[in-house]
Chains A and B, each alone.
Chain A
């Protein structure tokens, strides 16, 4: 059974800092991995999708890497801003079209 773990559970940083969020999964036979952002009381916004054959994806100040063999992904946020404050969720898809298995999330607070 696939399990996804995110570390740390919560993170508080001053504005401008670069930071790394970690995600690990127990079964390396994944199809893709997706990072989401969830604001309080809101839905999920997709940030980055990495296919199993890819090593990383970038979008603006965000960079996500994937090391499938070791079962790890990282989300790097450069020059953090207060508007980045949210919960970040990592999710893996094991086969095409199947369910996503989510981690518990990292709650990020960026202080002005």
Chain B
């Protein structure tokens, strides 16, 4: 039973490009969460999704960021027109239901040059 799979592990984008980060939850998990870890800072919640629904996006920046979790396929975190301040580690987590703890992926490290 594979864990939470995130890809790519490392992503380099030039300022103004788009970044797409993918997350496949553990088998049987229908809840997906995205967190961001800025350099030398703690993990901050971004968005919580279930299949085809955004449940809580209160941690998402108002512009340029979007997330989806389609009926088929992985969850996608999309960052448009990236800036240097978007450089961070982005972690995805999944859970079976809210009654259990989370399982985290290994993260995608985004570097904007």
Q: Which A residues are within 8 Å of any B CB, using their own CB?
A: 31-32, 34, 36, 41-46, 49, 89, 91, 93, 95-105
**B107 A99 Cβ-Cβ under 8 A:** no
**B103 A46 Cβ-Cβ under 8 A:** yes
**B91 A96 Cβ-Cβ under 8 A:** no
Taking the closest CB of chain A, its distance from the CB of B76, in whole angstroms, is 18
Contacts of B109 in A (CB 8 A): 41
Report if A32-B101 is in contact (Cβ < 8 Å); known contacts: A43-B91, A44-B91, A99-B59: yes
**A49 B43 Cβ-Cβ under 8 A:** no
CB < 8 Å: which of B102, B103, B106, B107 contacts A100? B102
Is B95's CB within 8 Å of the partner chain A?
yes
Interchain pairs with CB closer than 8 A, number: 62
Q: Which B residues are within 8 Å of any A CB, using their own CB?
A: 31, 33, 35, 41-45, 48, 55-56, 59, 91, 93, 95, 97-107, 109
CB < 8 Å: which of A31, A43, A98, A99 contacts B104? A43
Report if A98-B48 is in contact (Cβ < 8 Å); known contacts: A43-B91, A43-B107, A44-B104: yes
Identify 19 residue pairs between A and B in the complex whose beta-carbon atoms are under 8 Å apart, listed by A's number: A31-B98, A34-B102, A36-B104, A43-B105, A43-B107, A44-B91, A46-B101, A49-B101, A89-B42, A89-B43, A93-B98, A95-B98, A98-B48, A98-B98, A99-B45, A99-B59, A100-B35, A102-B44, A104-B42
Taking the closest CB of chain A, its distance from the CB of B101, in whole angstroms, is 4
Q: For the A-B complex with A99-B33, A100-B33 known, give 10 more contacts whose Cβ atoms are closer than 8 Å.
A: A41-B109, A91-B43, A96-B98, A97-B98, A98-B98, A99-B45, A99-B48, A100-B43, A101-B45, A102-B35
Contacts of B31 in A (CB 8 A): 97
- Measured between alpha carbons, how far is A53 from B48 in the docked complex, in Å? 25
With both beta carbons as reference points, the residue of chain A lying nearest to B104 in the complex is identified as: A44
